[in-house]
Structure 1
Amino acid sequence: MQAISDANRKWWLLGAVSCVLGLVLLDETVVGIALPTIQKELGLSNNDAHWVVNAYLLTFACFVAVGGKIADLFGILRVFLFGLALFAICSVACGFAPSGGALIAARALQGLGAAIIFPLFLAMITITFPKDVRGAALATSGAVGTTFLALGPLVGGLFTDFLSWRWIFWINPFVAVVVAVLVTLTWRDVPRPAGRQIDWIGLLLMATAMFCVVFGLMEASDLGWRNPLILASMFLGLVLFGLFWRFELRQSMPLIEVDLFSSPVFAGSNLTIFTAQYAKMPLFVFVALYAQTDLHLTPFQAGVVVMLAPALQPITAVVCGRYADKIAKRWQVLFGLGVLTLAFLWQAATWSYENVFLFVPGLLIAGLAFPFLFTPTRAAVSEALPEHKHGQGGGIAMTSQIAGGTVGLAVSSAAFALGGFGLVFALTALLSTLVFIYAAFAFRGA
C-alpha cells in the first residue's frame, strides 16, 4: 500500500507546508536567545547584533507582497521550491558565517527566501482543500506554526548552550529537504492567470523607503540623532513612502492597493496586526537579552523564560476559535490589545527589580493576547473586502505583520540605547494603548 495516494496526498501536502510555516516563524524567535552569544563570539556591537534579526525581517517585509505574484508568472511549485532552496542555502551560510557582516548578509537573503515561500503556503492550502475542510486545514497549519513559534526560544537555548548557536541555522536544511520531496510528490499545479504583472517600481519605492527608515532608527544610537546621515535617511524614507502611496493609487495592478485603507475596519485590522507583531520583538529579543544580562541566566534558562510568552497561545487560540463567531470582533480585538497593554506595563514596572519570578507573569499575560489580535483581524480583513479582493487583502495583512516586526525591532533598539529595557517595554505599552483607542472607533461596524 502506498504511503502517498490520491486520497491522502492533500494531508501530506498540508503537513509539509505547515512545517515550512513553522520554519519561517521559528526563525523569528530562535535567534533572539542566541543573540548575546553570537554578539560575543563575532565581536558585534549591540546595534550590529540587532541587525542579525532585522536584516531577516526587513527583506521579509519588503518582498512578502510580491511572492504570490511571482508564482502567478512562473508557477507555484517552481517558485515555492526556489524560495525553499534559497532559505535553506542561506541558513547554511548563516551557520558558517565567519563575521558579523557575513551573517547579516546571509540573514537578509534568508529573509528573501522566507518572503517567497510564506504567501505560497496559504495559496497551496486554499487551492488543494475544498471549502468544507479548508478551515480545519488552516487551523492545523496555524497550530503547527504556533508550536514552532513557542518552541523557538527553547530550541535556541538548547543549541546555544549544549552544541553551538550555529545549529539554530543548520537544522533548517534538513527540514527543507523533506518538505521539498513531499511537496513535489503531492502538489498538483493549476493554470496560471494570463496578463499578471509585477509592480517593480512600487516594490523598489517600498523597499527603499522601508530600508531608509529602519536604517535611520537602527543606526541613530551609534551615530547620533542629529547626524546628517540619520536625518537624511529618515527624511528620504518618509518622502519615498509618500511617493509610493501616490504611485500605487494610479496603478491598475498595484503592489499594494492602498485605497483599501479607506475602510476603517480594514485599516484598524492591519494596524492591530502590525502592533501585535511589533510587540513580539521586545518579547523574543529584548526579554531574551534581559534574561541573560540582568538576570544572569544561561541561554537555555533564558529560553525557558522566554517560552512562557507563547506558552498559553495554543490554549487561547482554541478558545478564540471557538468563540470567533459568537463574540463581536470589536470586543475580541479590544480584549487582546488591553491584555497586551497590561502585560507590557507589568514588565515596565518590574524589570528593574531583577527578579525572574516577579517578571514572568507579564510574559504569561502577553501570551493570552496574541490569538485575539491575529484571528479576528484576519477574518475582518476578508469581510471588509469583496471576494475578488481577498487575495490582495491577505497579502497586505502579511506585509503589515512582517513590517510590524521590522519597525518593532528598530524602534526598540533605539529605545534601548536611549533608556534601557524599561523604555522598550513602556513604548510598547504606549503603542498598544494608542491602537486600543483607535480600534475602539474603527471596529464599531465589525
Structure 2
Amino acid sequence: MTTPPVASTATAPLRDDRRVVLVVAILSSFVVGLDSSVVNVALPAVRDELGGGLVVQQWTVDAYLVTLGSLILVAGSLSDLFGRVRIITWGLVVFGVASIGCAIAPSGEVLVVARALQGVGGALITPSALALIVAAFRGAAQTKAIGTWTAWSSAATILGPVVGGLIVDGIGWRWIFVLTAAPIAVTIVLVRRISADVRVGPRARVDVVGAVLAVLGVGGVVLGLIEQERLGWGAPVVVAALVVGGAALVAFVPWERRTAAPLVPLELFRARNFTVGNLATLSIYGALGMVFFVVTLFLQEIWHFPAWVAGLATLPPTVMLLLLSTTVGSVAGRRGPRWFMAAGPAVAAIGALVFLVAGEDPIGYWWSVLPGLVLVGAGIALMVTPLTSAVLGSVPQSEAGAGSAVNNAIARIAGLVMVALAGVVLGGEVSVTGLHRAMVAVSLLLLAGAVVSAIGIRNPKPE
C-alpha cells in the first residue's frame, strides 16, 4: 500500500480532501462503536455454540473494551508522531483481520483473543479519526463536521443491540462480525484517496515507559473492576490487578512530567476548557454507560422483551442524535459550547428521573422508558458535539491526536467503571427498585456534568 505524502504542517494539507476525510472518519468510528455494543445480544448464542458459560460471555465483551480503553492513549501519541492517515490505516487492517478471526473462531478462547485484537485496532482508529477532522476543517465548519461525525459514531453504539438482535435471530451470531468487516474494506479503499497525511514534527521516540504505565494502569484497574463481580473484592487476582493498576496510574503523572517526549503532554491540562471538558466527560459518559447497560438488562430480564425488541425499544436516543447533532454543532460553532454543555446533561438528567415511573408492567414503557430515552437522547445531542469541540478546540492542532485520545480514553473508562459498578448500584440483581436506584445515580452524575460545564467552560472568542 502506498503511503500518502506527509505534510510538514498540520493546517492545510487535508483541506482538498475534506469530504473523503469526513466519510473515512465516520465509517471507521461507526464500525468501532457498532462493535462495542452489537455483540451483547449475541452472547447467549455464543455460549450455546462455543460453551464456556459466563466466563466466555464476559470476556467476549471485556477483552475488546480492556484493550481499547488501555491502548487508546498510546494510539493518540502514535497518531501525532507517525501520521494520522497511516495509523488509521493500520488500525483498519488490524480490526478487519480480527473481525474475520471472530467470525470463524472455533472456540471461546480463540474468540476472546480475536476480540482483544479488535480492541487494538479500535484504539488505533479512534483518536486518528477525530484528529483528521480537526486537521481538515476550521472554525464553524469544524464544529459542524464534528457534529456529523458524532451523530453517526454515537448512533452506532446505540444501534448495536437492534442490528445485532436481528442478525443473531436471522442468520446467526458469526455474521455480526462479517457485518463489521465489510465496511472496513470500503474504508481502506477510501483512505487511499487521501492525498496527504498529518504528522507532527520529526519522528521522536515513543514514550515506552509511559505507554507501559498507561496500559498497566488502565488495564489493571479495569480488569480488577470486571473480575470482582465474578470472584469478589478479596480475590487475589482482583487485589493484585487493582494494586498494580493503581500504582501504575500514580507513577504515570510524575513520569510524564520528567520525560522529554511524554505520552500525554500535561501542558494540555493548562487549557481551562480541556481540563473542565474532561471532568465533564468523566461524569457524563459514566452516567450514559450505566443508562444503556441497565435499561437493556431491565427490558429483557424484568419485562422479558426479546433481544431485538429491546434493541428497538432503546432506539429513541439514536433518532434524536441523527436529527439534532449536525444542527446543534453548527449553532454551537457560532454561539459557543458553554450553555449547550450545561443544558444537555440537565435535560438528560430529567430523562433519567422519568424512569422512576417504571414498574413491573411492561405497558409502562410508553410513559416511562420511552419519554425518558427521548429526553436522554435530546440531552446527548445538545451536549456531545459542543463538548468535543470545546475539548479539542482548546489544544494546539499539532496535539489534536493526543487530545482526542485523552478525551476518548476518559469517556470509555468512565463508562467501563460505571458498568463494572452497576452490580453494586442495582443491589446485586436487576429489579424495578434497582432500576430506580441506578437512574437516581445517573441523574446525579449528569447534573454534576451540567454544573461543571456551566461554571468552568468558556466560550472561545470569535475568529
| TM-score greater than 0.5 by the shorter chain | yes
Q: Where do 1:54-73 residues align within 5 Å?
A: 54-71=62-79
* 227-236 vs 163-172, which moves further: 227-236
CA 1:110/1:96 → structure 2, altered by over 3 Å: closer, same or farther? same
* 24-33 vs 184-193, which moves further: 184-193
Q: Deviations over 1:353-398 (max 9, x none)?
A: 5443332222222111113332222222245445555443333222
CA 1:189/1:394 → structure 2, altered by over 3 Å: closer, same or farther? closer
Normalising to structure 2: TM-score of the pair?
0.83
- Residue 428 of structure 2 is aligned to residue 428 of structure 1: no
Measured in 1, the distance between the counterparts of 2:375 and 2:181 equals: 34
8 Å CA contact 2:134–2:397 kept in 1: the answer is no
Measured in 1, the distance between the counterparts of 2:52 and 2:297 equals: 14
- Residue 414 of structure 2 is aligned to residue 400 of structure 1: no
8 Å CA contact 1:57–1:405 kept in 2: the answer is no
Measured in 1, the distance between the counterparts of 2:256 and 2:88 equals: 27
CA 1:286/1:35 → structure 2, altered by over 3 Å: closer, same or farther? farther
- Residue 287 of structure 2 is aligned to residue 273 of structure 1: no
Q: Which residue of 2 aligns with 1:356?
A: 365
Q: CA deviation at 1:36?
A: 4.2
Measured in 2, the distance between the counterparts of 1:285 and 1:50 equals: 14
Q: Where do 1:29-178 residues align within 5 Å?
A: 29-43=37-51, 46=54, 48-71=56-79, 74-128=82-136, 134=142, 137-178=145-186
8 Å CA contact 1:33–1:284 kept in 2: the answer is no
Normalising to structure 1: TM-score of the pair?
0.86
Q: Which residue of 1 aligns with 2:250?
A: 242
Measured in 1, the distance between the counterparts of 2:55 and 2:61 equals: 10
Q: Deviations over 1:88-128 (max 9, x none)?
A: 11112222334443323221110110111222223444445
CA 1:321/1:185 → structure 2, altered by over 3 Å: closer, same or farther? closer
Q: Which residue of 1 aligns with 2:332?
A: 324
Measured in 2, the distance between the counterparts of 1:204 and 1:60 equals: 14
8 Å CA contact 1:95–1:170 kept in 2: the answer is yes
Measured in 2, the distance between the counterparts of 1:430 and 1:192 equals: 40
Q: Percent identity?
A: 29
Give structure 2 stretches of 5+ with no counterpart: 1-13
Q: Deviations over 1:21-41 (max 9, x none)?
A: 211121123223333443455
- Residue 310 of structure 2 is aligned to residue 296 of structure 1: no
CA 1:125/1:24 → structure 2, altered by over 3 Å: closer, same or farther? same
8 Å CA contact 2:94–2:121 kept in 1: the answer is yes
Among 217, 235, 238, which residue is 2:225 paired with? 217
Q: CA deviation at 1:18?
A: 2.2
CA 1:54/1:429 → structure 2, altered by over 3 Å: closer, same or farther? farther
Q: Deviations over 1:267-316 (max 9, x none)?
A: 22112223333334334443333222222222221110122232211223
Aligned residues: 441
Give structure 1 stretches of 5+ with no counterpart: 1-5
Please tell me the root mean square deviation across aligned C-alpha atoms, in Å: 3.2
